[in-house]
């Protein structure tokens, strides 16, 4: 498993996936939108502040991306760390999000 922190990606990853930054942002947006929909919240109330951690892993021929990202709730200003797992190669819509949820204080979300 490879982990890429604070927007720093190894050059080999950048060469293989030059659009990774834009694609990663889209994946996180799709995941957060899926979470908001599940909780009957307007997605506009939640704003992504920063993607803090990213990792990729392969299992049974599928590639998954995991993200830890900071979200601010525009209605009350609270900041919450979220976790999401998505289908890395095909994340185009909400059905490609396997999990998106806020992390608890005792979770190690870094």
**Residue 75: band (very low, low, confident or very high) from pLDDT cuts 50, 70, 90:** confident
* Adjacent-strand bridge partners of 100: 84
Q: Is residue 109 part of a domain?
A: no
- Is residue 108 one of the residues assigned to a domain? no
Contacts of 74 (CB under 8 A, 6+ apart): 44, 45, 46, 47
Query: 77 lies in which domain range?
Result: 2-102
CATH classification at residue 91? 3.10.450
CB of 13 within 8 A of CB of 4? yes
Beta strands in 1-110 (DSSP E): 2-5, 46-59, 62-73, 79-87, 97-102
Please say if the pLDDT value at position 3 is more than 50: no
**Any domain includes 80:** yes
Q: What percent of the chain has pLDDT over 90?
A: 39
**54 part of a folded domain:** yes
Work out how many domains the chain is built from and give that number: 1
Question: Per-residue pLDDT tens for 35-52?
Answer: 999 999 887 889 888 888
- Judged against a pLDDT cut of 50, whether residue 6 lies above it is answered with no
**pLDDT at residue number 96:** 94
């Amino acid at each position: 498993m490879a982990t890429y922190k604070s927007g720093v990606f190894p050059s080999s990853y950048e060469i293989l996936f030059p659009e990774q930054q834009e694609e990663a942002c889209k994946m996180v947006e799709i995941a957060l939108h899926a979470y908001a929909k599940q909780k009957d919240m307007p997605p506009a109330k939640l704003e992504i502040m920063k993607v803090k951690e990213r990792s990729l892993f392969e299992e049974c021929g599928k590639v998954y991306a995991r993200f830890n990202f900071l979200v601010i709730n525009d209605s009350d200003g609270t900041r919450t760390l979220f976790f999401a797992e998505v289908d890395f190669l095909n994340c185009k819509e909400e059905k490609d999000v396997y999990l998106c949820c806020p992390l608890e204080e005792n979770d190690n979300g870094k």
